[in-house]
Amino acid sequence: MTSFDASSTVILLSCTIKRAKTHSYTAATCGARFFYLSAVNVNDKTAPEPFCCITDAGNPSKGIVGAWYNAGAGPIRVLDAKTLVLPQFTFEGTKPPDGWIYAGRGKVDKDSGKKALVVGRDSSALHCPLREDWTGRQDLTVELGDGQTVYDINYLSVYCFAVGVNFGHVPVNLTPQRNPVPPSIPPVRDGPPPVSRPLRTSC
């Protein structure tokens, strides 16, 4: 039997339809006696959906608008609470000392945020800067840092740690009430995830 405390999160995977019309509640029960420990009314509840889009206030056709090294992206899509897609991402990564997708709250600096992981390339064991050129022909998908969700940040930046320079950013102002998005669910699979790029063994 598994124990959970108040800090635990339990995610139930159910039907894929937006509205579970065949169910009116979800409950935790005790054994064969079907004794209710707790129940939640889910009648007529609509599942949250990905959010589109985070844009620059002065240029709604853009997400990140950069001042350095052609850093930029189209309107940013939020797939779930931790995963964002930067469409048509551009960045001259071969020129600066380093470059990271960086997210946080407050002033954009080294102390206010965390480096995001490039999905399909980075891992917690190997986290690399963007050192290649991005020409806008590809989208960049990133996962926010440990302990971060889209509701914990108020900026998303292309940032250089070596010299502490913000190459370009976009303000983020999402709340769970106004902008509910799906929770981030860790993948459950028997083997390694399929990736569009091979996972790196070194930076």
Whole-angstrom CA distances from 86 to 35, 181, 194 are 48, 17, 20
Q: Give the predicted TM-score (pTM) of the model.
A: 0.76
| Total number of domains constituting the chain | 2
Spatial CA neighbour of 62 closest among 175, 174, 170? 170
Q: Are residues 12 and 102 part of one domain? A: no
pLDDT confidence band for 203 (50 / 70 / 90): confident
Whole-angstrom CA distances from 93 to 112, 113, 151, 167 are 23, 20, 28, 11
Distance of alpha carbon 97 from alpha carbon 94, whole angstroms: 8
Q: Are 102 and 115 in contact (CB under 8 A)?
A: yes
pLDDT tens digits for range 85-139: 999 999 999 999 999 999 999 999 999 999 999 998 998 889 999 999 999 999 9
pLDDT tens digits for range 39-98: 666 666 677 899 999 999 999 999 999 989 999 999 999 999 999 999 999 999 999 999
Question: Does a structural domain hold residue 69?
Answer: yes
Question: Does a structural domain hold residue 2?
Answer: no
Question: Does a structural domain hold residue 184?
Answer: no
Q: Are residues 103 and 68 part of one domain? A: yes
Which stretch of DSSP H or E encloses residue 27?
Answer: strand 25-30
Q: Are residues 143 and 66 part of one domain? A: yes
Percent of the chain residues topping a pLDDT of 70? 71
Q: Are residues 58 and 34 part of one domain? A: no
What is the extent of the structural domain holding 81? 51-171
Q: What is the pLDDT of residue 198?
A: 61
Q: Are residues 89 and 67 part of one domain? A: yes
Q: Are residues 132 and 107 part of one domain? A: yes
